Structure 1
Amino acid sequence: MYATLSARPQFNPTSGENANGVLQGMDMGKAAAKPASAVESRDLLKGQKAVEILHNGCIYRLQNTKLGKLILTK
């Protein structure tokens, strides 16, 4: 017997992992109940190139690059 193509896991080119393998063995109880909220980067940066973020007593720097990428450094 052969498996049908629809039974094959989907490959995720971004992470390099297949979707079924990532989800196997995970407890999706609380994670699925409350999705993470999204914040626009422009709302954080407010027209600036970089912003400092205080987290657990440490200062992190969120910086927007010329290519439009974000870098977070400690």
Structure 2
Amino acid sequence: MPATPNSFSVLSHPSLDQSGGGTLSSPVTRPVPLVESTDLLRGSKTVGIMHNGSLYRLQATKLGKLILTK
């Protein structure tokens, strides 16, 4: 089955492991929601994100990288 541009059958990066250990103990079996950075930034270079009562800043660099800071 071919994948669409915005879907992955399995994302297996340690940062997606929800156990808190930082290591991937078993493959992710359910789809992970995918959000395009352009949808978050909406034409801006920086967007604020509230998370657990703290304000974070997501910033796009000139080289196309993303930086998340608290």
Task: Look up the match of 1:58.
Answer: 54
Q: Which has the higher contact order (CA 8 A, sep 6+)?
A: 2
Q: Which has the higher strand share?
A: 1
1:44 aligns with 2:44: no
3-state SS of paired residue (1:42): helix
Shift of 1:27: 4.2
Shift of 1:62: 0.1
Residue 52 of structure 1 aligns with an amino acid whose one-letter code is G
Q: Runs of 5+ in structure 1 lacking a partner?
A: 1-21
Residue 31 of structure 2 aligns with an amino acid whose one-letter code is P
Q: Which has the higher helix share?
A: 1
Shift of 1:35: 1.6
Distance 1:73 1:45 in 2: 15
What TM-score do you get using the length of structure 2 for normalisation?
0.62
Task: Look up the match of 1:35.
Answer: 31
Percent sequence identity over matched residues? 60
After the TM superposition, which parts of structure 1 deviate over 2 Å for at least 4 consecutive aligned residues? none
Pairs aligned (count): 48
Bigger Cα Rg: 1
Cα RMSD (Å): 1.7
